[in-house]
Structures are given as C-alpha cells and as structure tokens.
Amino acid sequence: TVEFHLAERPEGWPTPDTFRRVERTLPELAEGEVRVLNRFVSVDPYMRGRMNLGESYVAPFELDAALTGGAVGHVVASNAPELPVGTAVSHDQGWRSVAQGPATTFRRAAEIPGVPLSTSLGILGMTGLTAFVGLRDIAEIKPGDVVFISGAAGAVGTAAGQIARLMGASRVVGSAGTDAKVAMLTERYGYDAAFNYNDAAPVAEQLAEVAPDGIDVYFDNVGGEHLEAAIGALHRGGRIALCGASSEYNVTTPKVGPRNMSRLITQSLRLRGFTIGEHVAVAPEFAKAMGEWFAAGKIAYDETVVEGIENTPQAFIDLLAGKNVGKMVVRVDA
C-alpha cells in the first residue's frame, strides 16, 4: 500500500514537507480480517486540527505514523464471511491506497446506481449529516426562519443551504471566497442571495445587503469576522450552530473573538457548538430523509475530485485554500 505519514507538525499552513509518502507491504490477512482497495479517500478541514498537539475532541495524529480519515472502497480479500469480496465499505483508514483490518472496523456503504461511491464521504455521509444535525438539532431551525450560512460553497455549506430550504427556511443567504462560488450558490444550491467575503466591504455590511431584515439562524463554518457579523444581525431569540472555524485553522496567533458578545444577553441569543461524532445516532434518520430528497431530485451536489493517491497531501492543502466546490475527495486509482 502507498500511505502518507505525518512528517512534522505544521505551524500555520501545512506544506508538502508536512507529509511523507511511505510504501509498505501488508501482512497476511488474519482470521476475521478484510483487505479493502480504497476507491476514494476524504480530505477534511478537521484533519488540520489533528496535526497540532493539544487538547481537542479527537487525539492528535502521531508523528511518523499513517494519517487516518474517511475512505470508501471495495473488499478485495476477505477472511470474514459477513464482508465478502466485492462489498463496498466505508471506514476510517484514509490517506492510503489499501486498508486492512478486522471486518468490524468497516461499514457497508450503499451503492446507488449512477451515483459515485464518493458521495458516502460527502452529501450522503459525514458532511451531509453535519449540515442536517447542525440545522435541525443545534440551530433548531423553524419554518419561516431567515438562515445565513458561511463556508457556503463547501461540502457542509452546499448541503446546508438546500437542507435549510427543505426544512422551511423563508430565506437562505450565504458567503464564499470567490465570485464563481457565489454565483453557484444562487444558481445551483438554493441560496436566495450570496456574497464574496473577500470583497472590500466588511462582512457585516455585505450581510446587511443580502439580509436587510436580519437573520434568525447562523450556521457558522468559518468563525472570525463572520461570527461577529452574524451576532450583530440576529433577531431576538436567534440561534447559532458553531460547526467550524475555517478562517482560524492556519493562523499561528488566535484572533480576538467577536466584540459584540453582549448581544447574546440583550437579545437572548443562543450560540451552541457541536461535533458530529456526538450525533452519529442521527445517521439512520438522516439517511432516510436525505435518501428521499436525493431520489426526488431535490439535492444538487458537486465534488472536487483530485486524481491519484499521490496527490492526497496537495488535495488537503488545496482544500484549506478553498480550491474546492462541494466535497473534496481523492480518487485513488487515477
């Protein structure tokens, strides 16, 4: 197998030197084990946090050991009758071409005709579930709400815009980092209006233009200036789901937080963070709802597919730099 190890802990932005490519011969399969040829491996922003030492909700990656993450593939050798050769599975041994281990560490992945297997890493998998849980259970979205979503053109954001609409939002607005992404938000992802946060005008001003009457829900993927702008725009009783902080992952000195936190008091606002690992029990309900929306043609999705396992480190770096639309995945056997 070809796999990637963490060669050094990045300070600020990761570089190609952060990673080391290693070729390894896998041992014979033990009883109860399977070998899986990965078809797609996932790169996700949370992996940046795991490259640092320090307290977090998942343990830091170890130096000089293979990185891990979401992946999906097919069983190519099996010593476990429950997962015969040919079964599609998703699992946590990403960043490598071949995964091997006890069958219990692999989950069957749905194979839908005409739909790429990679969707089980994105719209039908972790990032779709994150959008669903963040809106429904964390922000407690209600019909008629005006919803603002940052990181709107990414994997979570493209799902969240459409789910917010399907859950009854009266207006959905979003932000992203390029004009091309902003155009896609309204043309493809069900957003009523959107803006480019890299434009000169402050985020608060741009938000006021697309949501002149204020907002009820903010789904935060980026933190920083966006969070302050959203706090300033929320109606009384408004709710924030804190999902991610993409604007802060590669800065070496943390920025000062929002300056308007007292609005949480005066306007009875609620700010609630979450990690999707604590909400996996929702997965079957999400699969049912998303399966129905998906089959009814109500969900658009895009993937940015990087070809070749060799390009996994660059795919990860490019993800952090915003080169993706929708879910960023690596196709292993380019």
Phi, psi angle pair for 312, to nearest 5°: -60, -45
Residues of this chain, 182-241, that bind ligand NDP according to CB under 6 A:
221-222
**Which of 46, 76, 188, 282 contacts ligand NDP by CB under 6 A?**
46
- Contact between 250 and 48 (Cβ < 8 Å): yes
Under the binding rule (CB under 6 A), the answer on residue 243 touching ligand NDP is yes
Angle between helices 203-210 and 224-233 in degrees, nearest 10: 40
Closest CB to ligand NDP among residues 34, 139? 139
Phi and psi of 127, rounded to 5°? -75, -35
> Which of the ranges 13-21, 33-41, 44-52, 164-172 carries the binding residues for ligand NDP, by CB under 6 A?
44-52
42 binds ligand NDP (CB under 6 A): no
Site membership for ligand NDP, residue 314 (CB under 6 A): no
119 is a site residue for ligand NDP (CB under 6 A): no
Task: Select the residue interacting with ligand NDP from 68, 90, 97, 246 (CB under 6 A).
Answer: 246
Q: How far is the CB of 156 from ligand NDP (least distance, A)?
A: 3
Shortest distance in whole angstroms from residue 82 CB to ligand NDP: 29
Helical pair 126-133 and 283-295, crossing angle rounded to 10 deg: 100
275 binds ligand NDP (CB under 6 A): yes
Give the span between the Cα atoms of 131 and 114, in whole angstroms: 24
Assess 120 for contact with ligand NDP (CB under 6 A). no
Task: Find the Cα–Cα–Cα–Cα dihedral 36, 42, 46, 48, rounded to 10°.
Answer: 100
Contacts 24+ apart (CB under 8 A), 78-87: 78/29, 78/34, 78/35, 78/103, 79/29, 79/30, 79/31, 79/32, 79/33, 79/34, 80/32, 80/33, 80/34, 83/34, 83/108
Of 10, 244, 258, 313, which one interacts with ligand NDP (CB under 6 A)?
244
Rounded to whole angstroms, the Cα distance separating 228 from 277 reads 27
Does position 116 interact with ligand NDP (CB under 6 A)? The reply is no
The only residue of 137, 167, 186, 274 in contact with ligand NDP, by rule CB under 6 A: 274
Q: Which stretch binds ligand NDP (CB under 6 A): 17-25, 42-50, 140-148, 229-237?
A: 42-50
DSSP bridge partners of 215: 234
Is 14 a binder of ligand NDP (CB under 6 A)? no
- CA–CA distance from 162 to each of 117, 169, 180, 280 (Å)? 21, 10, 18, 21
Question: Taking CB under 6 A as the rule, does residue 45 contact ligand NDP?
Answer: yes
Interacting residues of 297 by C-beta distance below 8 A, sequence separation 6+: none
Residue 264 CA to residue 187 CA, distance in Å, equals 34
Answer for which of 79, 105, 170, 178 binds ligand NDP (CB under 6 A) is: 178
Nearer to ligand NDP, 78 or 221 (CB): 221
Asked if 161 interacts with ligand NDP (CB under 6 A), we say: no
260 binds ligand NDP (CB under 6 A): no
Which residues are near ligand NDP by CB under 6 A? 44-46, 127, 130, 151, 153-157, 176-178, 181, 221-222, 243-247, 274-276, 319-320, 322, 324, 328
